[in-house]
Structure 1
Amino acid sequence: GVIVTFFSIILYIADTILDMIVAYDYYTRGYHTYFFFTAMFIIIPAGVVTVFSCVFYLIDRNNPDIPPPSKRQIILRVIFTVLIQCPLLRDFNVLLYGCKFIKNPKEEKYYKKMEKEDSDSASLRLFERFMEAAPQVTLQLYIIIHHYHDEKAHFDGTWQREDLFWI
C-alpha cells in the first residue's frame, strides 16, 4: 500500500501541474474562453473535494474511537485546505501511518489510521477525478477537433494529448 500511495501522490501532483500548464498555455495563446473553462474544471472539483474532506474531518471529530488531531495536524489541515489539496495531506498521512506501522507492527492503531486515511483519500480522489476528468476531456476533444485544420492557431494539441494520457 505504501508504494501505491507514493505513486498516487506523484501522479496527483503531475496531473495538477499538467492541468495548470494547459490552462496557462491557453491563456498565453489568447484562448481566454478555453483558459476559463479549464481553470473552472480544475478549481470547482478541488473546492468540492475540499468541502467533502472537511466534512470527513467533522465526522471523525464526532467519533469517540478517533483521537482528536494534534495542533500540528490542525495546522497542516488548514494549509492543505487553503491550497485545495486535501487528498495530498491524506496520502501523506497514509505514508506516515504506514511507516509507523511497519516500524511497530504490534501497534494496530497505526494500521487502522492508515486504512481510514487511505479510504478517505481514495473517496476524495474518486470524486475529484469524476468531476474534473470528464469535463476536461470533453473540452480538450472539442478544442482538438475544432482547431485540427486551423493553421492560424498554431495549435498542435500537445498538452491535450499529454493531459488525456493521465486518464
Structure 2
Amino acid sequence: MLDSDSQYTRLRWLLTIVGLVLYVVDIGTDVGMALRHFGEKQYVWAGLTLLFVLAGLLVSQIFSFAWYRDDMKDGLTNPDGRGTVAGMSTGELVVLHIFGMGVVSRYYHLLKKGFKVVWMTPKCSTVEERREEHHSLFCMAADLSMLKLFEAFLESAPQLILQLYILLDHCKGSVMQYLCIVFSFFNIAWALVDYRRCLRRSLPLIREMPSGLPTAIYLLYKLCTITSHILSYSLLLLLSSYSTVALILLWLLMTTFTHLLHTNFCSSKGLELLYQAVVGVILTFTFFNVKGQDTKVLMTIYYIFHVLINVTAPVLLALLKPEQQTGPFLLPVGCLIVVGSVLGLGSLILYYAYLHPRGKWREADEVDGLGNETESMRRMRNFLHP
C-alpha cells in the first residue's frame, strides 16, 4: 500500500477542479471588467485589462506547447518515440494552443487520468506500478502549477494593481470590479498554494517541506508581503501615472538580475530569455530563489527595498496629494499596507528561523529511482524555489 505522501488522493483530484474553476472564473471576470470599461468608454482601462489577460494567456500557451514538445522528445516519458503526447499530434497541439486552450487541456488530461487512478479499481498489480502512476499525476500537476504561477503574476497581479488604482482614483467601484479584485487575489493565493504543494510532491530528491503550521506560516508570509506590495504600487500610480516608468525599470532590473544568474530552465535560448523576463515580473512582486541556492543576503536586500517602497508610497501620497486623505479608501489601504508588511515580514522571520527544512538534499539511488529524471522533474528542479 502506498503511503499518503506518494498518493495523488481523491482530495487532491477534487482540489484540481477547484483550481480549474478559479482559473476560468478569474479570466472571465477580467474579460467582463474589460467589457464594462469599454461600455463606459474608458478605452484605456479596457485595453490594459485585456492586455494583462492576453499576456498571461500568451505566455502560458507558449510554455505549455514547448513543454509538450519536450515531453514528446523525452526518452523516459516517451520511450517509443511516438509522434503524439497526451493523445495529440504536433498539429493538434498547435491549434489547441493558438486558441488558448493549452492550460485547460492540461487540466482535462490530469482530471481524466486522475479519475481512473483514484476513483476506479486500479489495474496495476504491484506497489511500484501504482507508485509510478501516482508520480506521473504529480508531474502533470507540477507542470500545471508552474503555468498557473506564470499566469497569476502576469495577469492577476497586474490586474489587481490596475483595478485598485481605478477604485482608489474614483473612490467608488462596481460589483464586477470587486469580483475582479477578489478572484484575482484568490487566483494568486491558489497559485502559490498549488505550486508549493506540487514542488514538494513531484521531486523525490528535494528536501521535505513540512505541512501544517510551517506551510501556513509560509503562505501567510507570501500573501501578506505580496498584498502590501500591490497596494503600495497602486498608491504610487495614484500619486503619478509616471510611476509606471519606475515599475518598468524595476522589472528590467529584476530581469537583468535573473539573466546574470545564468538560469537553465528552458531547452532553447529564446524561451530562456522569455522565462527570465517572466521571472523579472514575479520578482517585482515577491522574492523567489531563482537558482535553488543560499540567498539569505539577497533576500535581506530585497525585503529592505520592499519595506522602503511600502513606507514611501503612503507617505508621499499624503504629503504631495493631501486631498486624497479625505477619500474613503486611503486610510484603510494605508493600514493594510502597514499590517501586511509587519505580519508578512514577521512570518518570514518565523518561518526561516524555526520552520524552514534544513539539511542537504537526498542523494539519488536505485531504491528511490532518482537517477531517472523526466523532463517534468527537470523543469520543476530548475524552476523557482521558496
Structure 2 length-normalised TM: 0.39
Which residue number in structure 1 is paired with residue 167 of structure 2? Answer: 144
Letter in 2 for 1:10: V
1:39-58 deviations in Å (ceiling 9; x for gaps):
00000121011111112112
Shift of 1:70: 5.6
Cα contact 2:86–2:109 (8 A) shared by 1: no
Letter in 1 for 2:93: R
Which residue number in structure 2 is paired with residue 135 of structure 1? Answer: 158
Shift of 1:21: 0.4
Cα contact 1:97–1:111 (8 A) shared by 2: no
Map 1:3-152 onto structure 2 (within 5 A): 3-67=14-78, 68=82, 69=84, 72-74=87-89, 77-102=93-118, 103=120, 104=122, 106=124, 108=130, 110-148=133-171
Q: Bigger relative contact order, structure 1 or 2, given CA contacts below 8 A and separation 6+?
A: 1
Cα contact 1:53–1:86 (8 A) shared by 2: yes
Distance 1:77 1:29 in 2: 38
Partner SS for 1:64: coil
Distance 2:109 2:92 in 1: 11
Cα contact 1:95–1:114 (8 A) shared by 2: no
Moved more, 91-100 or 63-72: 63-72
Find the partner of 1:158 among 172, 175, 181: 175
Shift of 1:105: 5.4
Shift in alpha-carbon separation, 1:144–1:63, aligned structure 2, 3 A = same
**Which segments of 5 or more consecutive residues in structure 2 lack a partner in the other structure?**
1-11, 186-386
Moved more, 128-137 or 62-71: 62-71
Cα contact 2:34–2:46 (8 A) shared by 1: yes
Distance 2:92 2:177 in 1: 33
1:82-134 deviations in Å (ceiling 9; x for gaps):
22132211111111111122322525354343222111011000111011122
Distance 2:181 2:86 in 1: 40
Larger radius of gyration: 2
Letter in 2 for 1:57: Y
Distance 1:71 1:122 in 2: 18
Q: 4+ residue stretches of structure 1 with deviation over 3 A? A: 74-80, 107-110
Higher helix proportion (structure 1 or 2): 1
**Count of residue correspondences:** 161
Shift in alpha-carbon separation, 1:56–1:134, aligned structure 2, 3 A = same
Which residue number in structure 2 is paired with residue 152 of structure 1? Answer: none
The percentage of aligned residue pairs carrying the same residue is 22
Distance 1:100 1:78 in 2: 27
1:9-31 deviations in Å (ceiling 9; x for gaps):
11111111111100111111101
Letter in 1 for 2:178: R
What RMSD, in angstroms, separates the aligned Cα atoms of the two structures?
Answer: 2.0
Partner SS for 1:156: coil
Distance 2:139 2:95 in 1: 21
Distance 2:174 2:165 in 1: 11
1:111-164 deviations in Å (ceiling 9; x for gaps):
34322211101100011101112211111111111222xxxxxx6332221111
Cα contact 2:56–2:151 (8 A) shared by 1: yes
